[in-house]
Structure 1
Amino acid sequence: MKKINLKIAFILIITAFAVFYGCIKKDIDVTPNVPYVDFKANKSIKSLIDGYISGVDTIKEDWIIKGVVTANDESGNFYKTLYIQDDSAAINIQIDRSNMFNAFKVGQVVYIKLKGLCLGNYGGMIQIGFPYTDAGSPTCGRIPDVFVDDHLFRDSMPGNPPTPLTINDINTLNDSYKGKLVKLTGVVFETPCEAYSLDYSATSNNIIDKQGNKIVLRTSNFATFRAKGLPIDTGTVIGIYSTYNGAKQFAIRDLNDVIYQQPCPSAFVNIVNESFASGTLGVFKQYSVLGTDVWNYGTYSGKYYAQITGYASGTANEDWLISPAVNMDAYFDESLIFETATKYDNPAGTLKLYWSNNYSGTDNPNNATWTEIAPINLSTGNFTWVSSGNIDFSAISGNKVYFAFKYTCAANNKPTWEVTNIRLRGKKN
């Protein structure tokens, strides 16, 4: 009996030890791998920036800076860029790596060994990169992915980022704020409910303070929040301050940086958006009813457009530039905006805007019923680009609506017309 009791006791002790060891092992397994460095910074960010003169400055010294990450690429608004800040200044690092936010989270302390890297100037912003030769000219580009871990070192787990510097007068922003995390208080957006960014390009929206001063909010078309609407009331915006060729700019990291009581209930979206930058007529189609001249793609001095002229044939023409079909019933508050330029002869009355909800989409547009939209603001000559302004389309209904530009000319009156940046927008139902 005594031997049985001893055996039971022994088994219980072994079992308890196994359970205890298993708990310890489990705790060890989940302990995070905390990064650390065994060296110190020997240069401040401000002294690094102050030492830059011009061009591509390749760093040959064993300099090390330390900073805290204030912005990364998590939302897509900062492309392959990290911003770090210390007590003296802030700077951005150009890195050829995607999804950097997984390692370099906001609040992460980072040490950078600068030897072999370079300083460059992009629009007035000093940045850290990697020296390249591009077509025989030196340039400071992104740090290649394979070299990132040789230069950037995390220390400890991410903590809190620096407290944003509070600004209530945009005019007080100067070079000492460049690259830093800044809080703009008591500000409004000039165009509430506009989307933060267009789908096809980065977009600028003005922020206005109580004094009426403005700063551009720059948002990438790759930002995850780009389609959201700008808020309505007065509030606070946190972000990174920068300049580009002397112009003040601001960029948020995500929508948590925009603190307002009245967000936009519904943002405008682009239903049709054509800049003709593809080198074709894009989503538009042309249909020639009379004459041999047709709508074509054109470009001049960096501008892309659809173009037509009666000069080629010297005869009368009727030509249509027709949009894709649009389900207007799926939207509300629709409006159309575009730009025109013209020259030669008398352009008055030779370009008109129409819409139809019974056009087939393929045959002669004269077989359908079209309603003219007038008056509209058009260019008057000398190839001067003129915006139409927002043209109200909200009263137009139908699930298959087309709009079109109709060009007509006589044999003795043959103006040239150019049309671009055609944007039909609205709010989804």
Structure 2
Amino acid sequence: MKINKFLALAFGLVTMLLVNSCVEDDDYTVPEVLVPAVDISTLGTRTTFASVISRFEDAEANGDDIGTWEFDAPLYIEGYVVSSDATGNFFEEILIQNSPDENDLADDPRRGLRIEINVRDVSNFYNYGRKVYVKLNGLAVGESSGVLTLGKLTGDALGQLEAFEYKDFVIRDPEVATIIPKTVAISDLSEQDENTLVKITDAQFIKSAIENTNSYAGEASDSFDGFRTIKNCESGATITLQTSTFADFKSFPLAPGKGDISAIFSRDFGDDFNVLVINNVESVNFTNEERCDPFDINDFDIVFEEDFTDGLTGWEVFNTSGSTSWFAGDFGSDFYARGSAFSGGSIVQMVSWLISPSLNFDAQDDEQMVLQIADAFSNGAPLTAYYSNDYVAGSNPSAATWIEIGADEILALPENTGFFDNEFDETGLVDLTAVTGNAVIAFIYDSNNATVSTTIDLGNVKILSPQ
């Protein structure tokens, strides 16, 4: 009996030692199960991402939406997982690219593919950086939400891989690679970068996102996804960051500084515009406190301001073409002058002038103008701004002399090709130092012969003078 008790005690002590030896520095993470080596000789013949994309393009050329490998000998591709659903920002999918870094392969230019899998927490199995082999026979390739996607052919549609089968098609390799994103300018992003990890440098969230929403997707207006605009400081180019309202970090405050962001380049759910999607907030490295906002309003005196809370009082509206005009509107606490050439379900001819009261530009020096503008359904740039010293109130503005101002600043504003997001973006300083005497400012909405219908909401006009 004493021997048995001693053995039991000894066994308990040994067990405790073994358990403790598995724990280091209070890290109780479950050790990863070893992934066995893959005998690729059993998978068939290796092919390329380029060939997968060609299979889709060939099907499209023949009038089909989906390509398959129904009659091919066994084929497979190799890729690396660049997405993670650990924070809830991706759902029932993995994204793979054919190279772990920004370099093209010798026989396969750098590309990415999305794989739809009807399983949650799929990153527990296909973790970030994991090398995988994808058997193509029995799969199909098509477009889902505007990006190339692998799945199962379900009738004549592209469906998800189910829980009972996905591991037979997407096979893990022991290798977990270090993923190095491709550094690329926003303006240089293209279809070739879709479904891949990219890095945008010298970037920041636009000022209105920080001031008005200040969360990734935590506002009441964010139904399924939150959309926040990111701007490159040097070029002024913008792109939208899309965040799921199911993401763990949806209510986190937006990083207020500037820096770089690493994210998957994709398309929004409706395939209307380009987006970035991050795996986690650590992917946003906006740690430089010196933002590239064009100016500090506190350095100026406001000599004129119009926020349209009293409608268009004091302003003139004159159409030189068409009957659709600028009008006053409001939504919640936002007031604006709106121009839109979309009427009755179609684009109409519209050239409408919104003309300010006369202003004395000799009363102060070195004036600058700042505009706050929101847009929606953008399909062109209908807005221009001018000033005139000889416009006669109530007359046809075509008879006066007009000088354009703010062209670059207006064109640099983000384009919202989707529904109203109620985000008013602020221009940089529009130089008015050349304006003297009494002058008016005019904003012209021109539908370009009924081809442009972008909705423009002019929310605020400020004229400033340095302190």
The interval holding the TM-score normalised by the smaller chain is 0.5 to 0.7
Tell me what 2:259 maps to: 235
Letter in 1 for 2:253: G
Counterpart pick for 1:63 among 69, 75, 82: 75
Letter in 1 for 2:218: L
Structure 1 residue 389 displacement after superposition: 8.3
Aligned 8 A contact 1:93 1:129 in 2: yes
Which runs of 5 or more structure 2 residues have no equivalent in the other structure? 1-9, 23-30, 100-109, 290-330, 337-418, 425-467
1:91 aligns with 2:113: yes
Aligned 8 A contact 2:131 2:174 in 1: yes
Counterpart pick for 2:130 among 108, 111, 115: 108
Give a deviation string over 1:388-429, Cα, whole Å, max 9, x none: 989xxxxxxxxxxxxxxxxxxxxxxxxxxxxxxxxxxxxxxx
Compared CA separation, residues 386 and 256, structure 1 to 2 (3 A): closer
Structure 2 distance, partners of 1:388, 1:144, is: 39
Compared CA separation, residues 252 and 31, structure 1 to 2 (3 A): closer
Tell me what 1:50 maps to: 54
Alignment of 1:14-413 (within 5 A): 32-39=33-40, 42-53=46-57, 54=60, 55-60=65-70, 61=72, 62-87=74-99, 88-133=110-155, 138-161=156-179, 163-167=180-184, 169-190=185-206, 191-192=209-210, 194-198=214-218, 200-210=223-233, 211-244=235-268, 245=271, 247-261=273-287
Aligned 8 A contact 1:59 1:119 in 2: no
Structure 2 distance, partners of 1:89, 1:151, is: 20
Structure 1 residue 249 displacement after superposition: 1.1
CA-based RMSD of the aligned residues comes to 3.7
SS state at 2:241 partner: strand
Structure 1 distance, partners of 2:172, 2:86, is: 17
Compared CA separation, residues 337 and 252, structure 1 to 2 (3 A): farther
Query: For this pair of structures, how many residues does the alignment match?
Result: 253
Aligned 8 A contact 1:46 1:90 in 2: no
Structure 1 distance, partners of 2:159, 2:168, is: 17
Structure 2 distance, partners of 1:172, 1:387, is: 25
Structure 1 distance, partners of 2:134, 2:277, is: 24
State the percentage of identical aligned residues: 24
Structure 1 residue 248 displacement after superposition: 1.6
Structure 1 distance, partners of 2:157, 2:132, is: 25
Aligned 8 A contact 1:189 1:232 in 2: yes
Which runs of 5 or more structure 1 residues have no equivalent in the other structure? 1-14, 264-334, 341-384, 391-429
Letter in 2 for 1:145: A
Give a deviation string over 1:173-225, Cα, whole Å, max 9, x none: 11221111000000111212621113642111111112111111111111110
Give a deviation string over 1:57-98, Cα, whole Å, max 9, x none: 232222201111100211111111101111331111010001
Aligned 8 A contact 1:207 1:214 in 2: yes
Structure 1 residue 258 displacement after superposition: 0.4
Structure 1 distance, partners of 2:287, 2:248, is: 21
Structure 1 residue 387 displacement after superposition: 9.3
Structure 1 distance, partners of 2:422, 2:171, is: 53
Compared CA separation, residues 189 and 146, structure 1 to 2 (3 A): same
Aligned 8 A contact 2:133 2:170 in 1: yes
Structure 1 residue 157 displacement after superposition: 4.6
Aligned 8 A contact 2:93 2:117 in 1: yes
Q: Which moved more, 1:197-206 or 1:59-68?
A: 197-206
